[in-house]
Each structure stands twice: as structure tokens, then as C-alpha cells.
Structure 1
Amino acid sequence: MADTLELFTSIGLSEQKAKETLKNGALSSTLRDAIVQAQNVLGTSGVDKTIGTLLYSMASRLKDTKRLEFLSINIAQRKISSELQLAAALEFLKSHPQDPISQSEFDEACGVGIVITPEQIEDTVESVIKKHKEQLLKERYRFNMGLLMGEARSALKWADGKVIKNEVDMQVLHLLGPKTEADLEKKRQVWSFLWTKSLMEQLRGEALKFHKPGENFTTEGYVVTPNTMNLLKKHLEFTGGQIRTRFPPEPNGILHIGHAKAINFNFGYAKANNGICFLRYDDTNPEKEEEKYFTAIKDMVEWLGYTPYDVTHASDHFQKLYDLAVDLIRRGHAYVCHQKGEELKGHNVPPSPWRDRPIEESLVLFERMKKGLFAEGEATLRMKMVMEDGKMDPVAYRIKYTPHHRTGDEWCIYPTYDYTHCLCDSIENITHSLCTKEFQARRSSYYWLCNALDLYCPVQWEYGRLNLTYTVVSKRKIIKLVETGVVRDWDDPRLFTLTALRRRGFPPEAINNFCARVGVTVSQTTTEPHLLEACVRDVLNESAPRAMAVLEPLKVTITNLPENAKSDVRVPDFPANEAKGSHTVPFTSTIFIEQSDFREVMEKGYKRLTPEQPVGLRHAGYVISIQKIIKDAEGKVVELEVTCCSSETAEKPKAFIHWVSKPLACEVRLYDKLFLHKHPEDPSEVPNGFLSDINPHSLEVIRNALVDTSVKTAKVFDKFQFERVGYFSLDPDSTANKLIFNRTVTLKEDPGKI
């Protein structure tokens, strides 16, 4: 230990830095080997602090230690003499994983032997400043000097950045002179709304730093075997360098808002880069799969605006997967095990006593499993590997005597996710296997299995899950909500399944925009429903035509109009842009207004109809004033008698309210959060479980609402803005005799505003 400490300090590390390095066994070993290699070139005392700093930087960043000798020698020979060159060297080695390394190509890629003179730096900076001179003189020291640095460094790739900066500073000072008081004044901050980049912009080209097709080996953690480059060559010949992704749901439930991000990420990444995306059903568990889920999943993908290049199933490859399992046994990487299911649960599973059974014996037993000669749970096929989370020998095949929806009784053994996923990706020549962060623990097993079978190995990339507060998305918990009658079905508009959101009236564009706003992040995102609702309002404000509806009607008779008087009132579909069309509604001597738009006793700040205060009628061109209040036997106001006059001659009222005349009867369903707490599954917030946290006011049904006749030809899922009330969508329960509307979201205004 003392000798190593002395070795590290001899290359310029401080004693503290050397001691910290010794605590990291892997780094210590790599650095020690690098120093020895350099000393072989320069002698024991020839490694100075400059070389030592580069050796330390190299040792802490080099992933493939078989390149240690090559790179250490190049540093010792001062071919690699700067951090810039070292970064280029590491990148070159990453993209050239196989021997032999071409020294000439390496030298060219790393700028070996290139000398940048002070005159070159001076001339280049002068040229860059000349290009921006007009703007520099105008903005002076408020100009973005980073732009000058960036262009100069781009032109002088191997120059010392500090020298370039000094030259830029000197030439700018020469042009502008010293800073004046005006230059030193703080720039007034101008606030501007930063629009979210579109999803396509976030996913296009270099934005995600993903590997290019065929360059899988440049990805950190990717395992390179002697046959990797040959397999990648064949892969490129098949795909033509096209990006290929897949969305692989299990057909045992309905997709939810989290899946919307996965759909947008997988289909969107392919679309943004002129690639293709498969919809692949991971149908390897016949006990839980139903045809309705297959149909609903495809419907939701297409509803969000994506068309799969092809629809495939894991079951398409059952025979191929079985043949590969036999090959895996033959290669000594899998065995038949008889440990019971309960013994295999958790992470401290005892080693299988059958792990080292002869290959021929496992082959015979696996064939017997296939022929149905074992009971369920009596035998499994396990892979000889340790996963990143420490789980040992994951199961590849298990026995299930359940008919499969596609293959019937042909199979009684079914592959697991850990076995199937990567092999189907390989078979379909997927370039980017995009999955959520929890699958990171399975990445090493993904690479291991492809390489163990000597197959083309795609690259697995992980991204953060999208979670919402005030909801549950677990299939098991949604089933519980349905079974206990809390919600009607998977498409109950209080849920956040995609079918529920569609039924509630959420436009698919809004969901896609929401995914774009959340962003393509690696970290898990938990956000609140109001952010999704804001995206919904943005879309509906531009796309939902206006109509007038009264949820709690109060009859109003206009006494100074003839009883049979009737006129048509033109109502713009989009008041902010009347060129987008309009519709007409009848106006007669009997209209209906909201009960809340009238108060018998005037209150401070109330601007609508009272005995002392007239109010305007939207679009009608009239102002009404109360003449008489009619009540029932219990004293409840049931009708108002009013007079009207033209809004052109009347004093301008404080408010205009909506109304309906000769309306259609309809039912309106108002929705609120299904749960009372943000995290209904968190025992610290909800100790008695999510079923104890149901919001008793999550659904309010108004059976006797009224709506104007402009909506009478509406189709299911058609969307409207009911003026001053909210956005609504026609529910599938509607009939020819009665329309039913779901409130999608409220308007931006506070519903409690008076």
C-alpha cells in the first residue's frame, strides 16, 4: 500500500488525492498498470506531472482495459498531450473495439503531430471577429462572446482553449475599448415563455445521443464478442441502416397514461428519424391474456396517431425460441431445475442443486417438459447467469397447461420475459430497445443471452417512467376498483387509462403534447393531473366549437316579447376567429339560464342578474331586467319574469350570461379526482390502502341539463366548449333520445369566481 501511495505521488498526485484513489480498487489497479507502462517507455523517474495527470484521467475514464497499454504508451511518447486529444483517443478506441488498431488512423483522429501556431490562432480569431463586427459594435459587451469562442475552437480543433480565449479577449478589447458605465449596467431581465420543443425535435438525430444503427459497440456497457462485428455487418445488410424500434405491451390489461410516453418514445423516435416501429404483443402468459386487450392496445396506438410498421407477437417465434433454448442448453448455459416457485422468490435464493446436471440430461428433461410429462411447477428451465440486481439464474421457461389464444394446445411450456424480450428484439433486428428505467437491472442479462447464443445484440436504452398523482395505474388495482363497483370499467373517465381519457374527451394531440412537455428524460417523472389538463385546454380551445348549455336551469319569461316570437341568433363556433364558422340557435320569449346566474339578494362583487341589476345575454343582443320573481310553495325560485331591451340602447351591463331556448334535454357527468390524496398507494399517506381513499364526490350526475340545438347531430367523442361552463365530450352511452356529455376539463377561470 505504501509503495503504491509513493508511486501515485511520484506522478504529481497530492497525498490526499492518492489516498482517495487507493480506496477505489479498480481505479488503483488501472492507474498502477498505466504508470508502469509509461515508466517502461520513459524510465522510473521520467513520468512528470503533465503525463501523470493524463494517465490519471485516462485510468478513470477508460472502459476497455485491454487498451490500457496502447494508450499509456501513446501518452508516454507525448503523442497524446492534452485533455482534448485524450477525449478523442478514448472516443476512437470506443468506436474501434477490435484488433488490430491502425496507428495512422488513431494519430489522424487524435490530432497527433498537429501544431497550432500563435499566428494561426491570431488570424482565426481575427476572421471570426470580423464576421460579427457589426453586431459586436452594436451590442458591445452584451454580445454573446461564447459564440466567438465556439467558432474559433471549431476552426482550430487541436488548439489550447485557454490560448484561444486570451486571444479573443485581447482582440475584443482592441475593437471595443475598455468597458464603459453603460456596459457595466445590469441588463434588464426580459421574461419570456419558453415553449417546449416538440416531441419530434427532442427525438430527432443527435438529440438523444443514441448510437447510429450498426454502431452498437459505441454504447457504454455494450459487450463486444469476437463475432460482434460480423453480426452487426449482417444486421446492417438486412436493415440498410434504418432505425427499428418496437412497442412491446403485454396483452393483459388496458394501456394507461404511462404507456402514452412509451408509445410516443418508441414510435416517435422511429418516425423522427425515418425509421420503423413494430407493435409487438408480449403474449407469453396465456393465463392473463384476452382478445379484448389486443384490440384495445392497437386502437390506442392508432388513436395517438401512430401506425405500426407491422403487428407481431412473441408467439410468432415460439418454435424459434424453443430451438434457441435447446441451443442454450447445448452450450452449457441453461439447465432444467426442480426448485419450487416459492423457493425462487426474492433475491436470496439458494443455489439450485441441479445447476451442474449434465447437458444431455437437461436436454432430455426439457423435451419431456415440452411433451407435457411434468406437472405445473415441477420443472423450469433456468439460465446460468447473475442479473444486475443480484438475482441468480432467472427462469427461461415454465410449464402452464392453459390454452394459448393463438397457438391453442400446441405448447404447454412458455418463455418468460427475461428470456423472450431480447431474443424477439434480435429476431426482428431492432436497433434501439427502448424501455423504462426499472428494466436497467435486466440490461446485462439482455446482452448476456444474445451473446451466449451468438446472435445479433440490439442496444437497450432506458428512460424514466411517467407517473401521475391522485391515481393508480396498476392492472391489479384497477381490476379491484371495477370489482368493488368504485368505477364502472377500464374506461371510466375518472381513471387514467387511455380508453378512459378518450371517453372523457381528452384529444390524442393533447396527450402527445403532454408527453413532449414532460420531455424525454432518464429520470422518473411524477407530475400532477392539472399539467395534463392544461395541455387538453390548449388543444380544445382551438378545436372544440362553442355551444351553450345550462346545467341547473332556471326558467325566464320575457314579458315584452310576443309569446310566439322567435328569431335565430348567430353564434360563432370560435369567437376569437369567426372565420372558422358559426351556427344558429333559436331565441324565443322563454329562455333558461343557470340558477347561479341569479341572486335574489344583491351581494358585494356579484355582477350577474339581481332585482336591482340587469344582465346581458350572450350573442342575443339583449339586456334583461327583472320584473317579477315566481316561487313554489316551499319558497324556491322557479321562474323569473323579465323585460328585455337592445344592448345597443341599454346601459352596458356588468356581465353577459349564457342561455338556451327551445333546448335539448341532456345528461351531464362532472368528474373530479378519484382519490383524496396525491399518492393513494403510499401507506404513509393512506394507511388503510387505496380503496379507503376514494373521493365520494368524484362523480356528479346532472340528469336534467339543457343544451342548445347546435349539438343535436353530434357523434360519440365529439367535443364542445359549453360557454362559461367547461369542455365536454359526447359519451358512448348517448342515445337518439338523450345525449350524455362528460365534462373533460373546466375552463381556465376559477369555477368559484363570482
Structure 2
Amino acid sequence: MAALALFGGIGLSEQKAKETLKNEALSGLLAQAIQQAQDICGSTLDKATGTLLYNAATRLKDQRRLGFLVNYIANKGVSSDLQLNASLDYIKNHPVDPIDTEDFERECGIGVVVTPEQIEEVVEATISKYRNQIMLDRYRFNMGLLMGEARNELKWADGKIIKNEVDLQVLNLLGPKTEADLEKKAKAPKQKAATETTEDKKESEVNGELHIAFERLVGAGSARGGESTNNVPPATATATAPPLMIPSVSLQPTQVSVPNFPADESKGFHTVPITSTIYIEQSDFREVTEKGYKRLTLEQSVGLRHAGYVISVQRVLRNKNGKLVELEATCRKSDMAEKPKAFIHWVSNPLMCELRLYERLFLHKSPEDPSEVPGGFLSDINPNSLVVLGDAMLDVSVRTAKPFDKFQFERVGYFSLDPDSTEQKLVFNRTVMLREDPGKI
């Protein structure tokens, strides 16, 4: 059926496409939106555009304005959920034609793209503004103030990305929480600023040649089971996807000590190996150094979190198709190298695993409400409610995990081990995304 193929072409699963076809009104609107977008962009639409088109067709109550909104989506003026939500609200609140396009574009952030580098730069400036007070109050400082000011500067940035960046930069500034930080007192005692230290330094070569290859990774810290409460989240593991591989010619294999709970080191530590090959996240490397980008480039070194090493890229290696597959780099102990601008996650000797990333099942808060979803709740199912990463990597410390053990994978979310796991491959289900409260599981 042509309509089935049309809907599949924007990323809908066969089941979701068939369910959509059952709703004649919705399927007609969606087909109209797709065809209009194809007239502008060509016959092939990327999945992100397809998702925005689907959401616009299902959520826009004034169907007369669908073509107006689709034009902005197809031309990448509306490229995020924030912009789409603002556009839908604007159209709802301005029912009289014609729409003031200048006002619409200004109010809905049309064409605005916020890069990770911009977020990193704004958060850094905000933290710098309050640095003295943060150093004095440490984790008792009102981090919401940092979030609020960053959001004011970057109205169209994803809030969860801003929060993650604030958390990361504060952690790099202060180090892990101490027992004093966790004490419930009206006023926190003054704490000296935490400095970057080399953890578990081992006898090994100071310099090492490294290679880095792209894979899919979930990575470096490792994980321990933990209860999910507001004050005690599941133990943390660093998560990255997809990654880069780094083997070292002269770096001697050793063990690195990592806290089970970075916010509370009193809960113990575990060790992870660092061998002649490590993996980092692909997005943590760029060939060209851009303003605000602090991670690994050909001209810029980074530290390996918890490992006590700094790496520097020497050469880029590509396959026969020209795809970047590996990097050669050098490795130095952090106490013998200039302090890097950033510390990144990594794994070594990793386990292959499958991650099942669950999103919200429905697009609306009240899918059963006919005023919100005229086509019924089945027409409101989120086509991206499940994404499976079948070739992720995780550090070996979770090898003995049991079904339903809970973990936090850094930069990914909170996970539980699925009973589908085998000795050959572990399977983890994401139970809570980072932007949600893990205490509400």
C-alpha cells in the first residue's frame, strides 16, 4: 500500500503506520504533510523531520494551518520539540488570519539552533560569575540559579542538556561530594576547592601511543546496584554512544579505582581495567577545534576521567571509504601534563551489551482526552517510544549483575538489567531518562 510505504519513509514502524491508517482523518493529514515536505526537501525525509511532521499532524487542532507549519518544518526553521511546542501554542492563541510571520518567527525561535559548544560556553560563564560563592558553599549552592541564568541566555536549548552540562562542570570544579557536603546543616562549612588529582596511580610508562576507533559504547565509570530514592540514586556508570577506540603500545595494563556513587564515596569503590585499548565517545572527538569545544581534537588534549591520564591525538586513520575509524594518540600521566580543559568518559576491555531506550508511550499527557487526541489513544502512540542499541559497550564491573539490578549510566539515564540477558550479552532497559526524577520510579 502506497500510504504504508509513505509513513514508513518518515520512520514509523509498520505497526504504527497501520494504526495510523485506521484513523482516516489523521492519515489524510499526515500524508498531506509528508507530500508537502517532500516537495520542498525531496522524496527522502530524515527521521527527525518525520517525527516533527507526525507530531504536527496529530497535535495541531487548527488543520487550516498545517501547511503553514509544515513549511517551517521542511525548511528546518522548526527543528526541535521546543520550537514545535511553541509554534503549536502560538497558532492556538492566534486563530485569526493572517498570522504575523515576523512575530511568529521571533516568538517561536524559528531557525535558532543551539550547539553543545554554546551551552558549554554559557554554563562556563555562568559558573565563573558565581565561582567564589560556589567554592564557599560547594554543593549547598543553589544550582537552580545556574540553570535559570543559562536558560535565560539559551531559551531554545534543551533543558536536560543544560542541566547535564551544569552538573558536569560543577563536578569538575568541586570534585565528588564529601561527607561534609552530604550533612544536613543550615550552613555548610567552608571547603577548599577540590583539585584534579590522579586516582590510583600505577607504575606504568609515562608516555603511551594510542589508537582510537569508532564503535558504539556505554562506558567508563562502572556500575553498582543501588536503591532509587531522591537522595540515593542508583550507582553510576559512564555511558557514551557511539565511541572511539584507543589502544596503547607502551601503556601497561592496570586497574583504575572508581567510586560506586560519585556523590557519596563512602559507599565504596570498584576497579575497572585500563589496557592497551580504550574506547571513548565519538562525539568527544572533532578534527577541527571550534570555539567553545573543549574535548579532544587534533590540537587539543583531554583527560580520561578517573584514570589519571591525558591523551593527545597524533594521527587520524580512515577506512577505504574515507570513514574515520581510528586515531593514533599519545598518553601521559596527568601530573606530568598541562591540565586539560575537559575530562571525558571511557571504557577498556568492555562488555558488549544491548540497551533498550524507552521514551514516553504517548505524545500527549492525556491521550484518552478526545479534545486533545480526536483520533483516540492508539493514534497518539509515540513512534520513537523504543530505540534499541544492539552493539553498546559497558565496563566489566557489571558482569555479575542480576536481573532487575539498577544502575545509572552517565549521560544516558537509569537502567535495570533485563531477564533476557545471557552470559554472552547483557540487556539493560532504560527506566528513567536523565531529565526525569529517578526518585519517582
TM-score range relative to shorter protein? 0.3 to 0.5
The structure where helix makes up a greater share of residues is 1
Whichever of the two has the greater Rg, that structure is 1
The structure where strand makes up a greater share of residues is 2
| Higher RCO by CA contacts (8 Å cutoff, separation 6 or greater) | 2
TM-score by length of 1: 0.27
